[in-house]
A and B are shown apart, each in its own frame.
Chain A
Amino acid sequence: MRRLIKNILVHILLVVLSLIWLFPLAWVIMISLRAEKGSYTTTFLPKHWTFKNYTRLFSETAVFDFPRWFGNTLIVALCSCILATFFIVSIAYVMSRLRFKSRKLLLNICLILGMFPGFMAMIAIYYILKGMGLTTGVLKLVSLILVYAGGAGILNFYVAKGFFDTIPKELDEAARIDGATKMQIFTKITIPLSKPIIVYTILTAFIGPWCDFIFSKVIIGTDAKYYTVAIGLWNMLQKENVYQFYTRFASGAVCISIPIAILYIFMQKYYTDGLTGAVKG
C-alpha cells in the first residue's frame, strides 16, 4: 500500500515537471499561430488562430529575409561541419592510437587552451579578420566557417578520443603484421569501426552553427544580408521590431527548432551507442 502511494506521488511529480518543461515549447508554438500582432496581449490564449505567420515568414522578405538567413546558416553549417569533422577525427585518432614524442605535451596544451574563455580569442579574431579585410561581404561567411571549424571547437576531441581508446590495440597490430601502413589502419579499420562516434561528431559540428549566437553576432555585425538564423531571430525581438515581428519570431523559432531537435535526438542516440565502445563483447 505504501509503495502504491509512493508510486502515484512519483508519477504525479513527473507529470508536473514534464508540464513545466514542455510549457515554454508549447507556448512558442501557440504564439506562432496567433493572429494578433504585438508581444504583449491582455489574454493568455490567442483570440484568433492563423497560419499566416509561417507563410509571411517565407514570402515577405523585404525587411527580414528569413529564407536567406536559413541558406546562410545551412552553407556555414555544412562547410564547417566537413572541416571540423576531419580535424576532430584526425586529432582524436592521433592522440588515441599513436605514441610519439610530443604527445603528452600536445594533450596538456589542448587542456590549457580549452580553459580560455572562447570569445577572448573571438574578439581578437574579429580584429585580425578586420585587419586582413575578411569582414566585408560574403567573406564574413567564409571567416565564420573558418572560425567554427578551426577555432576552439576542435579542442573537443575528447569524446572521439575516448571512443578510439576502446578499440583493441590487437586489431592495429594484426594489420601491421599484414603489412598495412598506419594510414590504411586509420581509413580501413579505425574509421569503419567508429561509425557512431563519427556520426556524433558530424551532427555536433553541424548543429553548432545553428545554435551559436555570439560568434556570429560578433563577426557578422549588423550586415542583415549575411545574418545567420540566430542573429536574425534575435533582431526580430529588438525594441524597434518586436511589435511587428513578434509572432513571426515565434514561427521562425519553431521552423528552426523542429529539425534541430530531431538531429539532436539522433546525435544523442549515436552518443550513447558510442559510449558502449567499438567492439561489443
Chain B
Amino acid sequence: MKRTNDADNLSFRAALVHGDSATKLSALVMGAGNFAHKQIGKGLLYLACEVCFILYMVLLGGGFLHGLVTLGTSTGGEVFNEETQVYEYTSGDNSMLFLLYGVITLFVIFFFLFAWADNLRSAYKSELLAKQGRHLNTFAEDVKSLFDQNIHKFLLSGPVISVFAFTIIPIFFMALVAFTNYDQKHQPPGSLFHWVGLKNFAALLSTSSGLGYAFWHVLGWTLIWAVFATFLNYFFGIILALVIDRKDTKLKSLWRFIFVLSIAVPQFVSLLIMRTMLQPEGSINILLKNLGLIDHALPFWTNATWARVTIIIVNLWVGIPFTMLQVTGILMNIPKELYEAAEMDGAGPVTIFFKITMPYILFVTTPYLITSFIGNINNFNVIYLLTGGAPASLAYNNGTAGKTDLLVTWLYKLSMDYQNYNYAAVISILVFILSATFSLVALKRSKVLDNEEAFQ
C-alpha cells in the first residue's frame, strides 16, 4: 500500500532527472512513456493534447500573445484601396478582444503546462511500476478509477472548470485592465487603449487630484459604514436573541417568526419599500406631519449626514434578525454541562452570563463577524437600492461619486455609467486587498482554519 502512495506522489522533476529514455522522451513527445508501457489510450490522449496545443499556438495563440503586448495598432476608419480605387471602411483593432484573447491564451498555456507535467508523472509512474513488476492500469481501469480512487478528479472537474471560467479568468482580466487606460475616451471598437503601468493607481491614490479626493473620502465612509453596520447589528442582534431566549419570555417562536419573516422577504423588495417610505413626500413624513410632530419633511435621503445615519438605521432593520438567527442557533448548542458545572460551583446568573454565555457566543461567532464585516464593505444592495449613492457631491470627481457611495457602488457606477473601467478595476483590486488582509489576519488569530477536523 505504501509503495503505491509513493508512486502517486512523484514529481515531474524526478521524472526528468531519474526517468529512463521513454520517460524523458515524454517531455518532447507527450504520451511516449505511456506508449512504451502499452498504455495506448492514455498515451493517445496526451499526444492529442500536445498536437491540439501546438496547432492552436501556431494558428491563433501566437498572434493573440502578440496582441496582448500591443493591444492593437490600427484604429480603423477609412482606408484607400489602391486596386479598386475606393475608400473602404475597416473596423480596426478591438483592444478589449485583444486583451481577452491574450488572457485566454495565457490560460491555455497554463493548462497545457499542467497536462505536460501530469504526462511526465504518469510516464515515470508506469516506468517504476513496470520495473517492480506490478500491475499497470489499462485505459478502462483508469476510467473506472475516476469513480473510485480518483473520484475527486471526476467530481471536481465541473466546479473547477466553471470557477475558472466565471471567477478566475474574469478576475485576472479585470486586474489587467487596471494597468491600461481603458476609460471613457478609449472605447473599442473605434479607439484603442494601451498599457499605462501604475498610472491609474497613482491617480487614484494621490491626495491632490479630484479622483484621489473622492477615493479617500469614499474609502473613509466605507470603513465607517462597515464598522457601524457590523457592530451595531451584531450587538443588538445578540441582545434580541438573548431577550427572546430568556426563560420567562413567552411565545418564543412567535417572536422569532416575526423577525425571520422580515429577512425572508427578498431584500430588494424591503429596501425599495424603505426608500419610498422615507422620501420627502413618503409615508413616514406624511404620518409625522398628520400627527403634527413636524412642519417640514425630514431630509432622509437629501441631506448627506441624514442619509448616512438613515442608511445605518435601515440596515439595523435588515441586519439584526440575521444576527438573532445565528445567535439563537448558538445558544441552543452551548453544552448544558457548562451551566450545570457553573451552578454547582455557586455561580450566579450574572457570572454565568459573563463567564460562559458571552465568551462562548464571541468565540463561535468570530467567523460570522469577519464575514459580515467583509460583506458590509461590499454591501452593494443596501446602498444602491436605498440611495444610489446620493446625494451627489461635485467635489467627488465631478459628481461620479455621492456622499453615501461605498467603494463598490462607486466602482459599479464608474464602469456601468461612466465607462471608466480602468479606475473601476483599480478600486476592485484595492477593495480585494482591504478585505483579504482583514480577513486573513482575523482568521489567523481565531484559528478556525486549524481545527477543521476537530469533530470528525
Residues of chain A having any CB pair with chain B under 8 Å: 3, 6-7, 10-11, 13-14, 17-18, 20-22, 24-25, 27-28, 39-44, 86-87, 90-91, 93-94, 98, 100-101, 103, 106, 111-113, 115-125, 127-128, 131, 146-147, 149-152, 154-155, 165-166, 169, 181-183, 186, 210-211, 213-214, 218, 230, 233-234, 237, 246, 249, 253, 256-257, 260-262, 264-265, 268, 272, 275
8 residue pairs of the A-B complex, CB under 8 angstroms, read A6-B248, A7-B248, A11-B249, A22-B258, A100-B152, A123-B174, A123-B415, A182-B151
Residues of chain B having any CB pair with chain A under 8 Å: 8-9, 96-97, 100, 147-149, 151-152, 154-156, 158-159, 162-163, 165-171, 173-174, 177, 240, 243-244, 246, 248-250, 255, 257-270, 272-277, 279, 281-283, 286-287, 290, 317, 321, 325, 329, 333, 374, 378, 380-381, 384-385, 408, 411-412, 415-416, 421, 424-425, 428, 431-432, 435-436, 439, 443, 452-453, 455-456
Beyond the given A103-B152, A117-B432, A261-B261, please list 16 additional residue pairs across the A-B interface where CB-CB is below 8 A: A24-B262, A27-B273, A27-B283, A100-B152, A113-B163, A115-B435, A115-B439, A119-B380, A123-B424, A124-B174, A151-B162, A182-B151, A218-B416, A260-B264, A264-B263, A265-B257
How far apart sit A70 and B334, CA to CA, in the bound complex (Å)?
Answer: 43
Task: Tell me the minimal C-beta distance from A269 to chain B in angstroms.
Answer: 10
How far apart sit A154 and B325, CA to CA, in the bound complex (Å)?
Answer: 23
Contact B159 A154 (CB under 8 A): yes
Contact A150 B249 (CB under 8 A): no
Task: Tell me the minimal C-beta distance from B340 to chain A in angstroms.
Answer: 18
Q: Among the interface residues B154, B165, B167, B262, which one has the most CB atoms of the partner chain A within 10 A?
A: B167
Q: Which of A6, A44, A186 contacts B151 (CB 8 A)?
A: A186
Contact status of A98 and B432, CB under 8 A, knowing A125-B170, A149-B162: no
How far apart sit A166 and B259, CA to CA, in the bound complex (Å)?
Answer: 30
Residues on the A chain within 8 Å of B455, using CB: 165-166
Contact B273 A253 (CB under 8 A): yes
Contact A18 B258 (CB under 8 A): yes
How far apart sit A128 and B167, CA to CA, in the bound complex (Å)?
Answer: 12
Contact B240 A17 (CB under 8 A): yes
Contact B171 A21 (CB under 8 A): no
Q: Which of B162, B257, B282, B286 contacts A87 (CB 8 A)?
A: B162
Contact A128 B173 (CB under 8 A): yes
Q: Which of A14, A22, A131 contacts B96 (CB 8 A)?
A: A131
Residues on the A chain within 8 Å of B264, using CB: 257, 260-262, 264-265, 268
Task: Tell me the minimal C-beta distance from A279 to chain B in angstroms.
Answer: 12
How far apart sit A27 and B371, CA to CA, in the bound complex (Å)?
Answer: 32
